[in-house]
Amino acid sequence: MTEYDYWKIFPKMPRKVTIGDITIRDGFQHEEKFISTAAKIFYLEELIFAGCRYIEVTNLGNPILMPQFRDAEDLLRHLRGDRFRKQCEKKGINYDEICLTAITIRESAVDRAIELRKQGIGPDRILMMVSTEEQHHFANSGTTLPDYWKEAERCIKKCNDAGMKMCGTVSTIWGSPIGGATDMKDAVEFSKRWFEIGAHDVEHADHDGSASAANVYRYFSMILDEIPNPRYHIAHFHETKRMAAASVLAALQAGIINFEATLGGLGGQPANFLDDCPTKGTGEYYYDDPRYVGLVTLEDTLVQIDEMGIQHGYDVDRILWLGKQLEKTIGRRLRSEAVINGRTLKEGHMKFARPGLAKRKEKLGEKPGQLFPSDWKEKAALPDRYKMM
């Protein structure tokens, strides 16, 4: 007989997951208009009130290159302030369970994070990034991989001494938008290198939607064979071909418990234009149509995981409401389907029921809830020819 219990088929699949939100950083970095500081604070607060405990706040890199984050210190200062702490206390949120992350691609940004930490407003966790394909890495960081690894090693020691955690990101695992096909074995080795030099955890990133479900399952199985504790791994998927939901499922089946997403599926390369002014970003965009770039959506991912019966800690309805607000902030329809169509309600949508069914059944002499003619047998007698392969 076929095994019907999903967790017996995939025994490594978790019953509980953590979904970090990176809307304010990765999501907003691709927008070609400045998102106001007030709006960023609103979404940071609301995401935390809705259940998010791992949240990317900002990018501490040079604001001349990425002016979207010129308010980085204002955001951190607000989240470290007494007012926000008291709000959390009133809502029954343990402030100490909230992990604030900032992106620090280069050493100067790490030094800035450490200085902010000394001032009492620094992040709990910072992030550096390598790509297994060196052209992509050079586009992001401006230096070679060997040189960057030495820089990362220095930075991890600095941030650990300052009481901060370092996340090491590995990108282009399933392919590069510049160099093309890559080898997943390289990404496994890169992940081990991060831990060797002292990283706290590793984000495994599909930054351009190259991943397929089969290769996601293979890769994370390879990773957990080498580094078996799933709490050290975060899955990060971009959505360019409507395949990211399959990648999330494949990662779950392999045993991954930590994921990242953005409201509305926002995200992508740092913008090279902001408001009315060109800006550097990371140069020319890797795609032709901006409608097909961004991350897996937080709203849809939550609905998918929630309906599988996996615990996640979010108020899903509040997140769906928040997704609708974000569409107004951004000024366009975003990519969450759940924001429009809602959740699958177990009680149905009886407002769409056609009147007169009860009377019709009564007229035909049928009982309420009767599904088959009364003279039929209780169970179907399936013809033998349909029982054979």
Residue 70, pLDDT score: 96
Indicate the helix (H) or strand (E) that contains 145: helix 145-161
> In whole angstroms, what is the distance from residue 108 CA to residue 61 CA?
8
Residues 30 and 76 in one domain: yes
Residues 298 and 371 in one domain: no
With a cut of 50, which residues of the chain have pLDDT below it?
none
Answer yes or no: is 5 within a domain: no
Residue 269, pLDDT score: 83
Among candidates 205, 241, 254, which has minimal Cα distance to 17? 254
Answer yes or no: is 83 within a domain: yes
Residues 247 and 369 in one domain: no
Which amino acid appears at position 105 of this protein?
A: I
Residue 301, pLDDT score: 97
Residues 66 and 156 in one domain: yes
Residues 24 and 164 in one domain: yes
Residue 87 CA, chain-centre distance (Å), reads: 25
Strands 233-237 and 258-261, sheet pairing: parallel
> In whole angstroms, what is the distance from residue 103 CA to residue 116 CA?
13
Answer yes or no: is 1 within a domain: no
Residues 334 and 360 in one domain: no
Residues 82 and 192 in one domain: yes
Write out pLDDT tens, residues 95-117. Answer: 999 999 999 999 999 999 999 99
Sign, CA dihedral 357-361-362-364, equals: positive
Residue 190, pLDDT score: 98
Per the DSSP assignment, residues forming a β-bridge with 19 are 259
Answer yes or no: is 241 within a domain: yes
Residue 253, pLDDT score: 98
Answer yes or no: is 382 within a domain: yes
Residues 86 and 163 in one domain: yes
Query: Rounded to whole angstroms, what are the CA distances from 56 to 9, 101, 138?
Result: 34, 5, 23
> In whole angstroms, what is the distance from residue 315 CA to residue 323 CA?
13
> In whole angstroms, what is the distance from residue 25 CA to residue 261 CA?
11
Total domains in the chain come to 2
Q: How does 129-156 read in b/e, with b if 16+ C-beta sit within 10 Å?
A: bbbbbbebbebbbeeeeeebbebbbebb
Residues 84 and 198 in one domain: yes
Residue 113, pLDDT score: 97
Residue 125, pLDDT score: 98
What's the CATH number where 307 sits? 3.20.20.70
3-state secondary structure of 128: strand
Q: How does 316-347 read in b/e, with b if 16+ C-beta sit within 10 Å?
A: beebbebbeebbebbeeebbbebbeeeeeeee
> In whole angstroms, what is the distance from residue 225 CA to residue 48 CA?
33
Contact 300, 245 (CB under 8 A): yes
Answer yes or no: is 68 within a domain: yes
Answer yes or no: is 350 within a domain: no
Residues 120 and 151 in one domain: yes
Answer yes or no: is 2 within a domain: no
Residues 172 and 69 in one domain: yes
Residue 366, pLDDT score: 96
- Give the domain extent around 113: 10-341
Residues comprising the chain, all counted: 389
Residues 243 and 316 in one domain: yes
- What 8-state DSSP symbol labels residue 270? P
